[in-house]
Amino acid sequence: MSKCLVCQNEISPFISFGKMPLANGFLTQDQFKEEYFFEMKVAHCSKCNMVQLTEQPTKELMFNEHYAFYSGTSRAMDQHFEQFAQHVISDYINSDNPFVVEIGSNDGIMLKNFKKANIRHLGIEPSENVAAVARGNGINTISKFFNKELAEEIIKEYGKADAFLAANVMCHIPYMHSVVDGIKTLLKPNGIVMFEDPYWGDVIEKVSYDQIYDEHVFLFSVQSIKYLFEQHDMEVVDVEPQETHGGSMRYVIAHKGARKISENVHKQIKKEIALGLHLPETYVTFKKNCEASRDKLKSILVQLKNEGKRVVGYAATSKSTTILNYCDIGSDLIEFICDTTPIKQGKYSPGKHVPIKPYEEFKKDYPDYALLFAYNHAKEILAKEEEFKKMNKKWIMYVPKIGIK
Ligand code: SAH
Ligand code: TMP
Ligand code: ZN
């Protein structure tokens, strides 16, 4: 038993994925013996509906000057954040000298659009290496972890914010009450909060359990976000489903009573109830679905190995760490994983130690099969890899369905 990070209710895990390393902990051979592991267990809180890890590595272990994820590696995400920024600018910003804050701003993929529009902005990005890329491009960025105290410092220097933005970072932060308190303090009376994260409803429907890894301490739903913000006199005024990261939800939040609540919020909650996100049975089924998915993927790879086929992993995503470790897939089953991120290349995958090679190694000598770990970028990647397909090579997919394409 442990306590819910949001409402303090007693919770107990409905699944354990076993010992897991850091999802972005790509490492060199001499680091193998001191590799960090924790038991990755997930619980659903029956009171506030928050789905959460019951144990998480400390933040400095995950987010530091060696952070391996650079947002700018996907063209599609670049376009996504341009649209996100345009939406904020045209629909929500109308003061004289607006000020926008983004947490988890990484290499500046979103804020560069505000810079271009000459809008005052501040990025909060604790991982020094990715923050340095943003600063190099003239994006105002500080390397700190966001919380209530930092919000007060920001107000002293810049004043209050018209918009508070976040993408794929709110779900990383266990001390949520300090964050929401900080947001509440920082936001102007008519200001807007917009953040998006992988959506728990999609994970349940697609059995995309690889969205669960150390950094994702929370798997949000509209119901759990509504509960959390209501504790701080704020309310969800709109929700906008997104296709990114295999299915995400963007939450639009304002001070209580400041804005009209869209019908979308009620509709989405109805969908969540129909999906049974509040019911214990859903979690029993989800566990069974995860096990079935794991066993099927593993058996496909074992069969291909027995047939003497060459299989390579495509894209060393954070999500792939959960797949490799939970399904027990190592370099006996996949030769290597190719990835375009220089900091990952030449290293080994967390836990299972599959070599990570530059993308060119894939191109040089196509394998018979490529296991697509970046299914969230499938459109972009499949379009780029037409030649692979033309040579009668095959993709192995596991979300939304396991199969060969
Ligand atoms: N927004 C980007 C990056 C997401 S990765 C995108 O969607 O592509 C999450 C980022 O959040 C990392 O760069 C990490 O360093 C940062 N981060 C983690 N904890 C944080 C915190 N408490 N405050 C601000 N940023 C944080
Ligand atoms: P993400 O799924 O967390 O966004 O991580 C994407 C990873 O996939 C990142 O390491 C870069 C890699 N990648 C490729 O190697 N090739 C590609 O074409 C794309 C889009 C991503
Ligand atoms: Zn709770």
pLDDT digits (tens, 9 = 90+) for 349-368: 999 999 999 999 999 999 99
Provide the 3-class DSSP secondary structure of residue 176. Answer: helix
Residue-level pLDDT at 57: 96
Q: Whose CA is nearest to atom 6 of ligand 2?
A: 317
Cβ of 168 less than 6 Å from ligand 1: yes
The whole-model pTM stands at 0.97
Alpha-carbon Rg of the chain, whole angstroms?
Answer: 21
Taken in order 382, 387, 390, 396, is the CA torsion positive or negative?
Answer: negative
CA of 141 to the centre of ligand 1 (A): 12
Mean pLDDT, rounded, of the chain: 97
Supply 46's token pair.
């029956």
Q: What are phi and psi of 308, to 5 degrees?
A: 75, 20
Q: In angstroms, what CA-CA distances link 131 with 87, 93, 110, 217?
A: 24, 25, 13, 22
Cβ of 167 less than 6 Å from ligand 1: yes
Cβ of 321 less than 6 Å from ligand 1: no
pLDDT band at 120 (very low <50, low <70, confident <90, very high): very high
Atom of ligand 2 minimally distant from the CA of 340: 15
Cβ of 71 less than 6 Å from ligand 1: yes
Cβ of 81 less than 6 Å from ligand 1: no
Residue-level pLDDT at 77: 96
Q: What is the pLDDT of residues 266-308, one digit of tens each?
A: 999 999 999 999 999 999 999 999 999 999 999 999 999 999 9
Q: In angstroms, what CA-CA distances link 192 with 118, 260, 324?
A: 19, 12, 39
Residue-level pLDDT at 222: 99
Residue-level pLDDT at 327: 98
Q: In angstroms, what CA-CA distances link 264 with 71, 170, 206, 270?
A: 29, 21, 22, 10
- Candidates 45, 402, 35; CA nearest to 221 is 45
Block residue for tokens 């972009």:
380
CA of 224 to the centre of ligand 3 (A): 8
Q: In angstroms, what CA-CA distances link 198 with 12, 62, 112, 202, 204?
A: 22, 19, 23, 8, 11
Residue-level pLDDT at 169: 98
Cβ of 370 less than 6 Å from ligand 2: no
Residue-level pLDDT at 223: 98
Q: Where in the chain is the domain with CATH 3.40.50.150?
A: 71-274
- Candidates 154, 132, 87; CA nearest to 114 is 87
Q: Where in the chain is the domain with CATH 3.40.50.720?
A: 281-404
CATH label, 71-274, candidates 3.40.50.1460, 3.20.20.370, 3.40.1390.10, 3.40.50.150: 3.40.50.150
Q: List CB-based neighbours of ion ligand 3 within 5 Å.
A: 4, 6-7, 9, 45, 47-48, 50
pLDDT above 90 for 1: no
Residue-level pLDDT at 401: 87
Best mutation site among 340, 349, 375, 381 for ligand 2, i.e. most ligand atoms within 8 A of its Cβ?
340
CATH of span 281-404 = 3.40.50.720
Atom of ligand 2 minimally distant from the CA of 76: 20
Please compute the mean of the pLDDT values over residues 65-90 and round it to a whole number: 96
Residue-level pLDDT at 105: 98
Contact 213, 18 (CB under 8 A): no
Q: What is the pLDDT of residues 370-402, one digit of tens each?
A: 999 999 999 999 999 999 999 999 999 999 889
Residue-level pLDDT at 296: 97
Helices and strands, number each (H, E), in the chain:
14, 19
- For residue 136, give the H/E element and its range: helix 128-136
Residue-level pLDDT at 81: 98
Please compute the mean of the pLDDT values over residues 312-317 and round it to a whole number: 98
Q: How many CB atoms lie within 10 A of CB 231?
A: 14
